[in-house]
Amino acid sequence: MDKVSKANEEEWILHSKRTGYSYNIKVALPPSPPHEDGYPIIYILDGNSYFQFARDVVRLQSKNARKTLVNEAIIVGVGHTGEDKEASRRRFLDFTAPAKDYIYPERLKGKDLGDHGGAGRFLEFLEEELKPEIERRYSINKEKQALFGHSLSGLFTLWTLFTAPNTFQTYLAVSPSIWWNNHEMLAFRDWLSNQTKEDKKRRLFMAVGELEGFMVDDAQKLLEQLKESQHLFVDSDLYMAPEENHASVVPTVMSRAIRFANKFK
């Protein structure tokens, strides 16, 4: 675990026994000392791409939290190591749920996506290896934790909410790949049927770019299903970013997502 440190920021490689893979961990710390109950924390998946956006939103806007509604928080980026092709294949493994069969859309047929179905092991890495290491190093408020993901990692964010909701309090899913495996994510009613009114509320922010076509429809369908079960424990919101596409949406919505995360119950 080699560590590189600079002002209020640290970076190291963490090898996971659960997944057999090494991840690039980046941490941005607030300049102020923590409150008695510790810092809020936001875990950013695809951290090599999106850590800096979240870090800078919190760093700049928390200076005037009264107006921006963005408070100080620890930002943890979780990134894949290796070349782009290797990292891309690894995303399909870490961020997709196990299934007996996989159904691919026409645009992906014939492409080498690598293995799938490793979401359970990746969640074990987050819960049993990364989070304890973060909590050992820093003062964390365990009741104010959020998970952010985009695209395939947005799919994993939803899957975590639906299968292990107590892992985080707030879930931030931007342009989630609800289309994966013939829209299996829309079949979550079995999970919801096991919840009761007494369960703690978990909160979901979804965003999608206006120009993302079928991904807009998918997000709207999921939101409608969630609203039918709003009396259980998911507070949900969907933001459609005007004139944004799949590649441009994250910088546009990061501030909005982090403001939502700041509204911890």
The catalytic residue positions are 151, 212, 246
Q: Indicate the SS3 state at residue 77.
A: strand
Helix (H) or strand (E) holding 222: helix 214-228
Rounded CA gap, 251 and 198, in Å?
Answer: 36
Q: Let me know: does 90 contact 21? Beta carbons within 8 Å.
A: yes
How far is Cα of residue 78 from the mean position of the Cα atoms in its chain?
Answer: 10
Look at residues 254, 232, 94, 255 and name the one whose alpha carbon lies nearest to residue 159. 94
| Locus of tokens 């820093």 | 138
Please report, as a single letter, which amino acid is at residue 1.
M
